[in-house]
Amino acid sequence: MNTPDPAPVLDLVEAFRRSKTMFTALALGVFDRLHEASSPAAALAEAMGTHADATERLLEACAALGLLEKREGRYSNQPVAEAYLWSGSPRTLAGYIQYSERVLYPMWAHLDSAIREGTHRWGAAFGLEGPIFNHFFRTPEAQREFLRGMHGFGMLSSPPVVSAFDLSRFHTIADLGGGTGHLAMAACERYPALRGIVFDLPGPAAIAREHVALSPASERIQVVAGNFFEDDLPSADLYAMGRILHDWTEEKIAALLASIVRKLPPGGGLLVAEKLLHEDGVGPLAANMQSLNMLICTEGKERSLGDYARLLRQAGFVSVEGCRTRAPLDAVLALKG
């Protein structure tokens, strides 16, 4: 009998070590400091107020991970760190990485009890109860950090999502829970005749205005404050929701879809951006991991195209198409009859 290769198990044993290495380097400001200039380990340790030998081990590990380059005793950022780990980059994921370390990392420590009880772990990790997004937006600083992280993901996912289908037939896209406005911006930048609306709570809406102002399509994009569960939706012939439906129960999804169908004209559409599971629920791995993350954080979960098609058709949509984008999010387009 052949002995199975232990590599998958050993890789998972060490996986959290790699994550924590990146988390720590970012939290200490390594990538921001090395953006300014390359540095030997001793000088960087002195600037950060850290132990010299321990700092060198951290930098060597980051170099082994492909985040830094070591040349003649000096460390510098690799291009991937400049793009996604330097806080000043327009594509930075620093906000989401900080959120992952400070919020998700402690909550995932309670995955076992989440599996036993089937509920989120805000209470277990932080002693917090109540609506989920009260925790994401518990302070203006936490809100900005969370949305900044989501903007980084949006810069990766929104252009492929709005390119997945021909949206040129539509006149106005309203992105519900649109965060920083990255999806509406991507759509309006791709389709010159399209007008956009970013619809979100007052706090995110204020941050969205800052981002929208930087878009070349800014004159065609409006930001409107509101709650999509409680307020009248802005008029549009195409609604969009990115990383929204996976937050909620089927009952709340049904209520939200009913509101959208009521507002849509015949032939109007809904563009959904989510990570799609395979129909048997096994894979892609990122979708399975995100589904567990939804268990930890929210009331929702990830779903397959078939799951979304069922929910959308029950709400009154007659045509549902899906597209795997190879980006962090896939795309679903549903049309009203």
Specify the pairing of strand 269-274 against strand 330-336: antiparallel
DSSP code per residue over 241-307: EES-GGGS-HHHHHHHHHHHHHHSPTT-EEEEEEPPBPTTS---HHHHHHHHHHHHHSS----BHHH
Question: How many CB atoms are closer than 10 A to CB 252?
Answer: 14
Phi, psi of 239, deg, nearest 5: -100, 155
In sequence order, what E strands does the chain have? 39-40, 68-71, 74-77, 172-176, 195-200, 221-225, 238-242, 269-274, 317-323, 330-336
- Catalytic site includes residue 51: no
From 35, 120, 211, 246, the catalytic residue? 246
Q: Sheet holding 195-200: strands in order across?
A: 221-225, 195-200, 172-176, 238-242, 269-274, 330-336, 317-323
State the residue for tokens 């203006």.
Answer: 140
Calculate the alpha carbon distances from 269 to 84, 300, 304, 333, 335 in Å. Answer: 33, 23, 19, 7, 4
Q: Sheet holding 39-40: strands in order across?
A: 39-40, 74-77, 68-71
What does the alpha-carbon distance between residue 261 and residue 236 come to, in Å, rounded to a whole number?
11
What does the alpha-carbon distance between residue 177 and residue 154 come to, in Å, rounded to a whole number?
13
* Active-site annotation, residues: 246
